[in-house]
Amino acid sequence: MIREHKGFVPLSLSEFDTLTRLLSELLSTGHPPVIIPGEAILGIEAMAAGISAPGRTFLNVVTGPYGSLFGKWLERGGATVVEVKVPFDEVVPAEEVAAAVERFNPVALSFVQAEVVTGGSNPAKEILKIARGFNLITVMDSVSAVGGEALPVDEWGVDLVAVGAQKALAGPNGVSAVSISPRGWEFMESNVNAPRNSILSLLDLKPPQQGTRPVRVPPNIPALEARALIAALTDIEEEGLEQVIKRHESAAASAVAGIKALGLEPWQKNSKHYSTLTTTVRISEQNLRIDQPVGIVAPGDGELFGHLLRINHFGANACRQSVEEAITTLAQLLNQDAAHALKAIRLVWGAPHDQ
Ligand SMILES: *Cc1c(COP(=O)(O)O)cnc(C)c1O
């Protein structure tokens, strides 16, 4: 057999345009997002590096481990960082954010939209409304929220937001995006400390202004990952973002119904603020202490180990079957019959009980 040696086909301008369009549509924004040549965490660190400077005060909301990390990166850039921190089985009340803004008079506010680790989701719309009232720059980590809940970037006035595809969007983890408003770009461009000629530089990756097309594909975008992201976002477009979000809502509601039927309690205290990506289960019995994941049931991360179990019903696992398997696993750990819990799950999905 004769093999043709064509070599690797680099990402074309048309593929790059497609990716930019799909990301803009996903986020309902008219401003082309920056495509980040790496995992979402790179975009988050790059945001912190680009906006942090001595003399700037940030209000950083901490409702889980990613928020703490973001605060440390802001401090590394010389900014003054004040925190609003809540126990990890709660989310931040919007009034607490408002009170802290009045007290500390920050220039910017940062928070994580949804926390897969704690199973909580912050009241993003209310928090952003408060921030706009005070004319603050708003910075969000929505890596695990996008695809699981609403994120209309322009309508909500988000200035910088990091997203990734490896959670609700069932996409690759090797390329991600940061969406930046014109105000967000000004905030970064006016920062003399913002990195240049660096893997952390968002300024180096700034897309051309609206209306002007890029003349070349940024050479650092990993082509295979970019193609995988195009494929994942095309699937999302076909299913419809609203339907994807609904699927995550049903997965969460059915997981909660399932654990309650087993006599277990969610780790998160307020049912209005459960994340749609993970359901966290308060560990009440020795039997629930697992060291290794079993399917989509996983032990708590870091300091939450031994306190909670996570059911990771996101992406392709935001479906009835995956939730049923997870609840069956929990029933087995508890030496219980799963039948009534499975019935509770099917009720939420609207499927016949005896199916
Ligand atoms: C998953 C996640 C990230 C990204 O972490 P990776 O190491 O890129 O997977 C960042 N923030 C939040 C809130 C996440 O859930």
**Measuring CA to CA, which residue among 259, 249, 218 is closest to residue 318?**
249
Contact 64, 118 (CB under 8 A): yes
User: Could you read off the pLDDT of 92-144 as tens digits, one per residue?
Assistant: 999 999 999 999 999 999 999 999 999 999 999 999 999 999 999 999 999 99
User: Is the CB of 108 inside a 6 Å radius of any atom of ligand 1?
Assistant: no
Contact 113, 291 (CB under 8 A): no
User: Could you read off the pLDDT of 276-292 as tens digits, one per residue?
Assistant: 999 999 998 888 989 99
User: Is the CB of 301 inside a 6 Å radius of any atom of ligand 1?
Assistant: no
List CB contacts of 331: < 8 A, sequence separation 6 or more: 262, 337, 338, 341
Ordered by start, the domain boundaries in the chain are 13-211, 241-349
Task: Domain 241-349: state its class.
Answer: alpha beta
**pTM for this model (two decimals):** 0.95
Residue nearest atom 15 in ligand 1 by C-alpha distance: 144
User: Is the CB of 144 inside a 6 Å radius of any atom of ligand 1?
Assistant: yes
Closest ligand 1 atom to Cα of 39: 8
Q: Could you tell me what percent of the chain has a pLDDT over 90?
A: 90
User: Is 132 marked as a binding-site residue?
Assistant: no
| Predicted local distance difference test score (pLDDT) of residue 216 | 83
> Could you give the dihedral angle defined by the CA atoms of residues 328, 333, 335 and 337, in that order, rounded to the nearest 10 degrees?
-10
Contact 26, 35 (CB under 8 A): no
Closest ligand 1 atom to Cα of 144: 15
Q: The CATH number of 13-211 is which of 3.40.50.720, 1.10.1020.10, 3.40.640.10, 3.30.70.260?
A: 3.40.640.10
User: Is the CB of 164 inside a 6 Å radius of any atom of ligand 1?
Assistant: yes
User: Is the CB of 60 inside a 6 Å radius of any atom of ligand 1?
Assistant: no
**Measuring CA to CA, which residue among 222, 138, 124 is closest to residue 180?**
138
- Tokens read off for 312: 């990771």
